[in-house]
Amino acid sequence: MPLVGAPHTYTVKTMSEDKTITVEVAYALPEKQAILEVEIVEGASVLEAARQSGIAGKFEEIDLDTAKFGIFGHAVAAKQVLKAGERVEIYRPLIADPKDVRKARAQRARERREQDTP
């Protein structure tokens, strides 16, 4: 029988009690790469995992607010919710547009063929 005026017991769920999952965050340069394992709260986004990993502190050129992301090679939005075991990839900006490079290569090949033709 509860006592009158006795304190009530409440359960407050804190962030540390939330279910967590483990994911990887990866970034690579030609001369330096990093894959960091990070434990995040279930339901966290790609951007949240990247921020929590601290990878931006290891690579000064990363701007997480403008970066493009992927999961196992497929482009995703920064707000994409992660599943356990996924690898977040932070993509570097392209130096040259692949379509423009292919067009220029085809043009050079065409010019060489025309020069070789009598």
- Domain ranges for the chain: 18-98
Q: Which CATH number fits domain 18-98: 3.20.130.10, 3.40.190.10, 3.10.20.90, 3.50.50.60?
A: 3.10.20.90
User: Could you tell me the strand order of the sheet in which 68-71 lies?
Assistant: 33-41, 20-28, 87-91, 68-71, 74-76
pLDDT over threshold 90, residue 118: no
This prediction's pTM: 0.68
Contacts of 59 (CB under 8 A, 6+ apart): 27, 29, 32, 34
Reported in sequence order, the residue ranges of the chain that DSSP labels E, i.e. its strands, are 20-28, 33-41, 68-71, 74-76, 87-91
If one compares 103 and 12, the residue with the highest pLDDT of the two is 103
**To 5 degrees, how large is the angle CA 8–CA 14–CA 16?**
140
d(CA 29, CA 44) in angstroms, rounded, equals: 26
DSSP secondary-structure letter at 45?
B
Residue count (the chain) = 118
d(CA 20, CA 18) in angstroms, rounded, equals: 6
Residue-level pLDDT at 16: 53
